[in-house]
Amino acid sequence: MTTVAEILMLVGGLIALLAGIGLLRFETNYARFHAAGKASPVAFLVTALGASSQLGWEGTASLAITTAAMILTLPVGVHLLFRAVHRTTPGTHLRVDELAPAERAAGLRRGSEP
């Protein structure tokens, strides 16, 4: 294994570790989702770059497809989790709730079924 690959995989692991610490330390669900949604694809991308330097073309191609799928689908999943928490959790920690007028117009209330 080359030194560059080892460093990339180590850095990817450290980013994932920091994301895990953020999941435990942050107080609100929104901050936790942000830590998981932003850091995990970056950690996977850096780790995949390190691993792909050691694999042949077939391994690199499968890692590239997996990375593309993760980067394309993860933001949508995190957004849906944000919306679900916003609709079901009463909270006063938001200074400005820009989604509230749209929810009122649609007849949705917090804590109610859509």
Place of tokens 């895990």: 20
Q: Which is higher by pLDDT, 92 or 35?
A: 35
Q: What is the pLDDT of residue 74?
A: 87
pLDDT at site 93: 67
pLDDT at res. 89:
74
Residue 101 has pLDDT above 90, yes or no: no
**Which helix (DSSP H) or strand (DSSP E) does residue 15 occupy?**
helix 3-25
Phi, psi of 7, rounded to the nearest 5 degrees: -65, -45
| Average confidence (pLDDT) over 75-85 | 84
pLDDT at 17 over 90: yes
Q: Model-level pTM?
A: 0.70
Average pLDDT over residues 48-57: 85
- C-alpha to C-alpha distance for 46 and 94, rounded to whole angstroms: 33
What average pLDDT score do residues 60-87 get?
Answer: 86
For residue 83, what pLDDT band results from cuts at 50, 70 and 90?
confident
Give the Cα-Cα-Cα angle 76, 93, 26 (nearest 5 degrees): 65
pLDDT value at position 109? 60
Determine the Cα–Cα distance for residues 28 and 30; give it in Å rounded to an integer.
5
Measured CA distances, 65 to 51, 69, 76, 79 (Å): 14, 6, 18, 22
